[in-house]
Structure 1
Amino acid sequence: MSSTRMLRLALAPAVCGLFCCAALAQDSSQVLTGQDAFTNYQKEKPGVTRKLTVADLPKPYATQGVDNGAPMVQRPDGAMPIAPDGFKVSLYYTGLNQPRLIRKAPNGDLFVALSYENKVMVFRGVGPDGKPKEVSTFADNLNLPFGIAFYPAAHPKWVYIGNTDGVIRFPYKSGDLKASGPSQQLAELPGGGKLRGGGHWTRDIAFSKDGKKMLVSVGSHSNVDDSDTHPEEFHRADVLEFTPSGKFTKIYASGIRNCVGEAVNQITGQLWCSTNERDMLGDNLVPDYITHVEEGGFYGWPWYYMGGNQDPRHDGKHPELKDKVLTPDVLLQPHFASLEMVFDDSSQFPAEWKGDAFAAEHGSWNKAQRAGYEVIRVPMKDGKATGEYQDFLTGFTTDDGHVWGRPVGVAFADDGSLFVTDDGSGSIWHVEHTK
């Protein structure tokens, strides 16, 4: 372990207690652009802002695709996520088996999907010790659950859960810590897949602002298989529209390789997606992205990317689609593995951040110099993205390139503080603004 890392860990308990302020935070007014905007874990520090554009992207195969999965290690003693100056980070709960998506119920309870245990848990409140006041299993015997949604929004009667092969719902009244009745199967989805390298299994759920549409994200079955000739790609790499009762309506948007996290912007009413793009075109292709999703929009997968850039593995195919490909709002680092996103509608974080998006970046597996393993802030203005993103919560890696934490889910509590699930250390982190 480097001397810098040892010093940081040695000082952490004395300087930070249960929190760690980012002495490494940088001037957020500086925006890194062009080639300077590309990053790796060593350059990710709270307060660093980047803006990537399509013009910054290299040609395909400028570098070789690699398999560089992160060696996971136990969280070193004293190691904590690092937030910007003025924020406090504390350990809310640990000992979980890979906690994934987290969503706040209207009454303030936090629902967390433990996908590999096939259950959804509830965490209630924060006690004087910083830990939850109550913990309960809401439902189990599920099938790789991920997405969680409450319906109707204000006074929900149902908790919807996105299993890998379908959407189900449980009866619910405010304050329930356990499902009060059996589940109802609402919609079938193409199911299964593997976490890494394609075959996406996560399914998220969001309701339109008017409550009339249930929008379900389904990732691709592969990295870049031609969906013309691979029937297993049917209704995949899409956002599907259903009625709240589960009747399929249409493909809401297509060509989105893996819209892992969905969120509805309450200012504009638009659906947004946090998206994993394709791999093996090189270190800096293809960028993951966060974008609003146009109804009827086509985002390119598998034939094109970032507008009309054709994937060389499908050279010459579907020229009629080239001019129809939408370019995402915010280009992130390639291979970031962008997962859940949420909009800040609170009054605790800085006032100028209100309405901004926050997203969990799970971290790369096929980038020569690893990137991700952080939570980012996506600045917004009147509900529209500026195209920039800023490192917000880092420190989940060691100086020698090992990884102890991998952010997955983000949710704002009623008091405006942020909760982050981390399936690397099996923890939930609590981030509060203190000034």
Structure 2
Amino acid sequence: MTRRFLSSVAIMALGAGPAFGQSDSIGTLRQFGKTGTSSEAFQPVDQHGDYAGQLKMNLEQITLPPGFAIDLFAVVPDARHIAIGPQGVAVFVGTRKEEVWVATDRDKDRQADEVKRFAPSIRFNVPNGPCFSRNGVLYIAEQNRVLAFPAAEFFYESPDVAVEIVVPQRELIPPEEESFNHTARVCDIGPDDKLYIALGQPYNVPPPEKLETYDRVGMAGIIRLDRNGANREVYARGIRNSVGMDFRPETTELWFTDNQVDGMGDDTPPGELNRSTQPGQHFGFPWYGGGLVRTREYQDTEPPADAVPPVLEFEAHAADLGMMFYTGAQFPQKYRGGIFSAQHGSWNRTVPVGARVMFTPVEADGNAGEPEVFAAGWLMPSGEYMGRPVDVAQLSDGSILVSDDLAGAVYRISYQPPPAE
């Protein structure tokens, strides 16, 4: 597929073919044609107005460990999951709506100078999950489609971009299983150079008659496939709705968060951090609603005997989403090799919790230590949300980005060591 992508890029650089209608923009772009989309469709987002100023003021309420600072990186409407281009040219941000945004820091002051729509000639549907391959191909996992964009960092300046269909529309999940609930996909490229995609299922707890279908297609689980869409297989099962995953560096272990069952009480069941060490593992859902807490719906049936428990339990209903292993050198030693994760915040708890960034140390042998609050303050003492963190990603200088879909922003957290005495 890489050779085909590079050919696409070369042809587009030499000149576009005949124009096609907007209704078939994907077909047009695959034929290297122009869609006729105006540059006005980029819909640039103001980065210097009153709104940006207010967000900067709000950040004064955020607490961090000594030596750390948080700043506004970009105003990005509905900002969800983040993919940082491997060349350091641009940052791509998905949403649960119809837009993918691209932020460019042209003067390299670690603040975006420009934010605009990516590929506005394409109509996306819940393009929550962008991820990059190591050779610069951007993948976007939508509600029910997966697209790939070669050299996205270098062709995003045009409304028309080279695109390839990895999973066609309505083939990622069965069309009858499309829902407004649990449709925010995330993706990652594994050390095996395969594409991994988490597929949430639409129910709080699915009825038994749905389990065979979900097991077969990989819903309530994670699938993996070749980067051209071939050789799809179910990699992991028994996962209610994972919206954050990352491979532990120098291993083949896939770690992921999972959101627990709702409606079982304020303090139960816990959120999860899981570790997959090989294909075919089952992580207990729907027999377990979070941790080892059994669901009412399946309490009279036997769970899988080999169900893998989470390596770590988080506070109930904090809504643990995006996560990443920290591989940078800017932060102090205690953070290196550990996990930063975003808690979106509860919606069905009497007293809200979450809306913060957590840190979990991970030992060299793969054991997870106790999680601790790293950045907090988006949940105000009144119970009002000032922001809701979604994802974390690492810039090349070792600072990290945090997205916030309530405020419509991406923040940057950096570390400055104290001066030597």
Q: Same fold (TM over 0.5)?
A: yes
TM-score by structure 1 length? Answer: 0.75
Structure 2 CA distance for aligned equivalents of residues 402 and 254 of structure 1: 35
> Is the aligned partner of 1:226 residue 2:207?
yes
What residue in structure 1 maps to residue 179 of structure 2? 193
Alpha carbons of structure 1 residues 127 and 87: separation in structure 2 relative to 1, 3 Å = farther
In the TM superposition, residue 126 of structure 1 has moved relative to its aligned partner by 6.9
Provide the aligned length of Structure 1 versus Structure 2.
350
Q: Does the alignment pair 1:341 with 2:327?
A: no
Q: Equivalent residue for 1:162?
A: 141
Give the aligned partner of residue 117 of structure 2.
137
Which is worse superposed, 307-316 or 344-353? 307-316
Q: CA deviation at 1:277?
A: 1.5
Deviations 1:125-177 (A, max 9, x none): 374775313434322321110111223x1x22x21100110211122265443
Identical positions, percent = 28
Q: Distance in 1 between matches of 2:357 and 2:291?
A: 26
Q: CA deviation at 1:387?
A: 3.8
Q: 1:228 to 1:418 in 2, by over 3 A?
A: same
**Runs of 4+, deviation exceeding 4 Å:** 74-79, 126-130, 229-234, 305-309
**Does 2:84 align with 1:88?**
no
For residues 317 and 367 of structure 2, what CA distance do their matches in structure 1 show?
Answer: 21
Instruction: For 2:389 and 2:297, locate their aligned partners in 1 and report how far apart those are by CA, in whole Å.
Output: 31
Which residue is equivalent to 1:237? 220
Q: 1:272 aligns with which of 255, 258, 265?
A: 255
Does the aligned pair in 2 maintain the 1:75–1:405 contact within 8 Å?
no
Q: Taking structure 2 as the reference length, what is the TM-score of the superposition?
A: 0.77
Compute the displacement of 1:432 (Å): 0.6
Residue 76 and residue 246 in structure 1: after superposition, are their counterparts in 2 closer, same or farther (change >3 A)? closer
Following superposition, the deviation at residue 269 of structure 1 comes to 2.3
Q: Which amino acid aligns with 1:119?
A: E
Give the distance between the partners of 1:232 and 1:178, measured in 2 at CA: 41
Relative to 1, partners in 2 of residues 1:247 and 1:358: Cα closer, same or farther, differing over 3 Å? same
Offset of residue 259 of structure 1 = 1.1
| Correspondence 1:354 to 2:336 | yes
* 1:110 has 2:96 as partner: no
Query: Contact 2:261 / 2:290 at 8 angstroms: preserved in 1?
Result: no
Larger helix share, 1 or 2? 2
- Structure 2 CA distance for partners of 1:341 and 1:271, relative to 1, 3 Å: same
Q: CA RMSD in A?
A: 2.3
The residue type paired with residue 110 of structure 1 is V
User: Given the superposition, is the C-alpha separation of residues 378 and 126 from structure 1 closer, same or farther in structure 2, using an over 3 Å criterion?
Assistant: farther
Counterpart among 257, 271, 279 of residue 240 in structure 2: 257
- Kindly report which structure 2 residues correspond to 1:13-52, keeping only aligned pairs within 5 A, or say none: none
Contact (CA 8 Å) 2:59, 2:71: kept in 1 or not? no
- Structure 1 residues 234-243 or 178-187, which shifts more? 178-187
Q: Pick from 387, 405, 408 the counterpart of residue 390 of structure 2.
A: 408
- What is the CA–CA distance in structure 1 between the aligned matches of 2:408 and 2:102, rounded to whole Å? 15
Structure 2 CA distance for aligned equivalents of residues 184 and 83 of structure 1? 42
Structure 1 unaligned residues grouped into runs of 5+:
1-73
- Between the aligned partners of 1:407 and 1:218, the Cα distance in structure 2 is 21
Asked if structure 1 preserves the Cα contact closer than 8 Å seen for 2:56 and 2:72, the reply is: no
Shift of 1:283: 1.4
Which residue of structure 2 aligns with residue 296 of structure 1?
Answer: 280
Distance in 2 separating the partners of 1:248 and 1:334 = 37
Q: Secondary structure at the match of 1:331?
A: strand
**SS state at 1:360 partner:** strand
| CA displacement 1:53-88 (0-9 Å, x = unmatched) | xxxxxxxxxxxxxxxxxxxxx969555322111111
- Partner residue of 1:316 out of 300, 305, 315: 300
Q: Give the distance between the partners of 2:68 and 2:242, measured in 1 at CA.
A: 30
**Structure 2 equivalent of residue 368 of structure 1:** 350
Matched, 1:184 2:164: yes
Partner of 1:208: 190
Identify the match of residue 198 of structure 2 among 217, 226, 240. 217
CA contact (8 A) 2:241 2:259 kept: yes
User: Relative to 1, partners in 2 of residues 1:409 and 1:178: Cα closer, same or farther, differing over 3 Å?
Assistant: farther
Deviation at 1:372, TM superposition (A): 0.5
Q: Distance in 1 between matches of 2:292 and 2:269?
A: 13
8 Å CA contact 1:417–1:433 kept in 2: the answer is yes
Q: Secondary structure at the match of 2:130?
A: strand
Work out the CA distance in 1 between the residues paired with 2:58 and 2:221: 42
AA partner of residue 246 (structure 2): A
Whose relative contact order is higher, 1 or 2, with alpha carbons under 8 Å and at least 6 apart? 1
Alpha-carbon separation, structure 1, partners of 2:163 and 2:147: 6
What displacement does 1:178 show?
A: 4.0
Deviates further, 420-429 or 167-176: 167-176
Q: Name which of 360, 369, 376 aligns with 1:394.
A: 376
